[in-house]
Amino acid sequence: MAEMSAFWDRLADKYAAQPIADEEAYRTKLARTQAFFTPDMDIFEFGCGTGGTAITHAPFVRSVRAVDFSAGMLDKAREKARAAGVTNVSFEQGDITTMPLPAAGYDMVLGLSILHLMQDRDAVVDRVFAMLKPGGRFVSSTACMGGPLKLLAPVAALGKLLGKLPQIGFMSHDDLRATLTRAGFVIEQDWQPNPKAAVFIIARKPG
């Protein structure tokens, strides 16, 4: 995790300052997610970055536990939470694949702009499934760069070796759906604002 932290720490200031690329799509994703919220829900977010989404959702649920690889990103997130007066969100450094997590402990798990950066997405999705209560939901937004973009895989591998790029997985939209359904999820919503945009999926754990 130290290598991942160092990479994202270098980008923390720039990441925190950059505007949201598609504000309308982002607001739609927030609204679709919040449609499932109740005040007694406990939420977990991995790859939370500088915490904007966790802080936005926190007033509508009981608690949000948000984790990220990067200590620098988390510093920014804590500053944002203090400035917003949000007290029911916690930020901690961690890796969902290795950190201790309760089975069936959460009502919803968020993985936004992160699955394509995980080395073993199948293992991550399996972990998410185990973390959710029966009937709980996994909300993800994922860059699906399969198909012709797979030709860039050697470039991405070289960029990672040189410390210029993070780990990048080149999955297709169908690959992502297959990963979720193999783990046991039922896909309830599948939305892509345009052919080049991230794929937004809400998937439910049966029960």
Per-residue pLDDT at 52 exceeds 80 = yes
* Cα 38 from Cα 107, distance rounded (Å): 10
Per-residue pLDDT at 153 exceeds 60 = no
Kindly indicate the confidence band of residue 171, based on its pLDDT and cuts at 50, 70 and 90: confident
The total number of structural domains that make up the chain: 1
DSSP symbol at 164: S
pTM for the full predicted model: 0.85
89-92 contacts, C-beta under 8 A, 24 or more apart: 89/51, 89/54, 89/55, 89/58, 89/63, 89/64, 89/65, 90/63, 90/64, 90/65, 90/66, 91/48, 91/51, 91/54, 91/66, 91/67, 92/65, 92/66, 92/67
pLDDT of residue 156: 40
Per-residue pLDDT at 207 exceeds 70 = yes
Kindly indicate the confidence band of residue 164, based on its pLDDT and cuts at 50, 70 and 90: very low
Determine the distance from the C-alpha atom of residue 99 to the mean position of all C-alpha atoms in its chain, rounded to a whole number. 16
pLDDT of residue 158: 37
* Cα 15 from Cα 116, distance rounded (Å): 18
Q: What is the pLDDT of residues 72-103, one digit of tens each?
A: 999 999 999 999 999 999 999 999 999 999 99
Assign residue 123 the CATH number of its domain: 3.40.50.150
| Mean residue pLDDT across the chain | 87
Q: What is the pLDDT of residues 22-33, one digit of tens each?
A: 899 999 999 999
Per-residue pLDDT at 161 exceeds 50 = no
Domain extent at residue 195: 2-204
